[in-house]
Structure formats: C-alpha cells, structure tokens
Structure 1
Amino acid sequence: MEARLDYAKLAPEPIRGLYAIGGHLAACGLESSLLELVKTRASQINGCAFCLDMHTQDARAHGETEQRLYALSAWRETPFYTDRERAALAWTEAVTRVSEGVSDEVYEETRRHFNEKELADLTWAVVLINSWNRLAISFRVPPGTYKPSRKAAMQAHASGD
C-alpha cells in the first residue's frame, strides 16, 4: 500500500493541534497503559492498521502484555482488565460508535470509575484517536512504517521544531 499524500506536510497547523491535544493527554494524569488500550480499541473498531501497529508497539514499550493486547477485542469475555479499564473501554466503544448513542448506563458506569476531569480527558483521548484513525485510513498511511523511537521526531517535525 502506498500513502495517498502527506497530509501532515500539506496541512501542518491542524496536525500541531492534534499533537497539542496529545501532549495534554500525556500529562493529564490518566494512566498511559489505559490510554494505549483506548487507542488500540478504537483503532480496532475503525480498522486502522497503521494506528493498530503504532499503539500496540507503544503499549508493549510501556510494559503491556501480549495476552491483554491479543484479547482486547474480546475484553468483556476475559478477566485481564480492571474495572476502571473496562469502563474506559465501554466508553471508548460508545464514543467511537457515536451514531449508536452513548447510553446513560455506559455513562453512569464510567462515572463510577472516573471523576469529571478524568472523563473529559478520556473523551478527548477517544476523540483524538478517532481523528488520527480517519486521517490514516483516508490517506492510506502504510502500516509497518512506525517505530516508537521515532515518535518524538515525528511530533517535533509536525510542530515545526
């Protein structure tokens, strides 16, 4: 597969905005392991091969287990995730599939595990990965090209540093 165009080079201003949101999320206090699960689950739903490759690599680099990554698409059927992670995954699915609605039940369960600020940040994490998924899928960013060691360089390049 060949990329259709270099959207980051052609429209760097909005990419800087996405990286700014990512920077906020990295420092917001939500667990990095939880954020990687959220990014991976949304990418599974959306079928974004590039983002799946990226976020499973990042998750592994931060100590995530193969077992939890392999079972993520069936998280409801496994004992591998905490109640907080389960709530975040249910929220991720509901916000990603927003046309199906975000039920009061999912909201209330998520609120049991996240305070208002955390829920706002969690929602931004879902919004952000859905944005990245849509860009990568639309412009056919080839999977297999991401390397965790190059992430900082990618962010610096996009931000104009």
Structure 2
Amino acid sequence: MVVGTRIPTVTPRQAGLLTRIGYWYSKRRFGAVPEPFAVMANHPKLMRAAGVHETLVERASTVLPANIREIAVYRTARTIGCSWCVDFGTMLMRHSDLNIDKLQHIDDFATSPHYSDDERAAIAYADAMTATPPTVTDEQVTDLKRRFGSQGVMELTYQIALENSRARGYAALGITDQGFSKDACRVPWAED
C-alpha cells in the first residue's frame, strides 16, 4: 500500500515562478492545488505541457453532451482504479450540474433506469477501450457514429484514451483521492 505519493510533491516554496502561478490558478479554480500538479511540478516543462494540453482538450471538447463525456471518463477512472480521478471527476460532474447520484448505479449501467441509451453506449465503449487488450467492435463504433457523429466518436475516443493515460499514470505515482468530491480538499504540502 502506498502512503503518500511515490514522487514527492513540490511545495510552493520549492517551486519556480511559473509553477507558483499555476498553483495559484488551480487553487482559485478548484479550491486546492490538485496533487497530480504538485507531483508533476518535479518536471516543470512537462507540467506546463500537460497544462496546455488539458486546457486545449477542454476547449475542444464541445461536440458531446457533458453527461456523455463525463460518465465515460468516470467509468474509465473507476475501471482502472484511480481514486484521485474518481474523486476529481465527481467534483467536475457536480460543478457541471450533472447527476452524480447515478454514479452509485454505474455497475448496473446496462439495466439501470438511471442511464439513458446514449450513456449506456458511451460506458460500454469506455469499458471496451479500457480492456486489455481493447475489445472495441466495428458495430460499436457504427452505433456511436449514429448517436454522436464522427466528431462525437473522435471526442469520446480521445477523452477515454486520455483518462486511461491519466488514471494509469496517477496510480503508478501513488496519487490517491484528495477530497474534491467531498469539498474537503487536502493541500499536499500542508504537513511541511
């Protein structure tokens, strides 16, 4: 069991000017500095690249309805077992006024009345993409194109693939839930 991150967080005192500005912005936006940012700050150039990438992906993700995108990303994080991603994703869903109560029924998504047919298709696609090896079928993609169009399928695919990367990376680094979904954020360097 990992206690704390496998790579230490960078405190504001240790951080350079651009990282401190990033901390200020993220604390203002999310209420606390997300621990992955504080770990990524060990490599400031990668941290900036990741921040730019995440911002661009967020701005470009406008085709799918938010509930479809977020439920697929949540399912991916949960399947991989990234408690940080589940925690942060739940907060993002709540702030987007999405129904987070339905998350308790996600294991029964295929039959639960809490999910629409579009959400079921997106969750099943997230499962197929996240499986090792992936189990995506031609029929599945054809169905998704009918529902969301080619751009929607591209957006869904990209978001699920990105969450696979995030969740696997954060799990490898020992980054765990931070309390975002409970409004009780822990600042990673509070113990310093």
Q: TM-score scaled by structure 2?
A: 0.68
- SS of match in other structure, 1:77: coil
Q: Which has the higher contact order (CA 8 A, sep 6+)?
A: 1
- 1:118 equivalent in alignment to 2:152: yes
State the partner residue of 2:6. Answer: 4
CA contact (8 A) 1:21 1:128 kept: no
State the partner residue of 2:54. Answer: 22
Name which of 33, 40, 43 aligns with 2:67. Answer: 33
State the partner residue of 2:98. Answer: 64
- Distance apart, 1:14 and its partner CA: 4.3
Aligned length: 149
Between the aligned residues of both structures, percent identity stands at: 23
C-alpha distance 33-16 of structure 1, shift in aligned 2 (>3 A): farther
Name which of 130, 135, 145 aligns with 1:96. Answer: 130
Answer 1 or 2: which has greater helix percent: 1
Residue 5 of structure 2 aligns to which amino acid in structure 1? A
CA contact (8 A) 1:39 1:129 kept: yes
- 1:46 equivalent in alignment to 2:80: yes
Larger Rg: 2
Name which of 119, 143, 156 aligns with 1:109. Answer: 143
C-alpha distance 57-72 of structure 1, shift in aligned 2 (>3 A): same
In 1, distance between residues paired with 2:112 and 2:153?
24
- Distance apart, 1:125 and its partner CA: 0.1
C-alpha distance 130-62 of structure 1, shift in aligned 2 (>3 A): same
In 1, distance between residues paired with 2:160 and 2:97?
21
In 1, distance between residues paired with 2:149 and 2:132?
21
- 1:76 equivalent in alignment to 2:110: yes
- SS of match in other structure, 1:90: helix
Residue 110 of structure 1 aligns to which amino acid in structure 2? L
Q: TM-score scaled by structure 1?
A: 0.79
In 1, distance between residues paired with 2:84 and 2:49?
20
Give CA deviations for 1:60-87 in whole Å, capped at 9, x if unaligned.
2222224311112221121122222222
| RMSD over aligned Cα atoms | 2.3
Give CA deviations for 1:138-160 in whole Å, capped at 9, x if unaligned.
001131254799xxxxxxxxxxx
In 2, distance between residues paired with 1:35 and 1:20?
20
Residue 47 of structure 1 aligns to which amino acid in structure 2? G
State the partner residue of 1:137. Answer: 171
C-alpha distance 122-64 of structure 1, shift in aligned 2 (>3 A): same
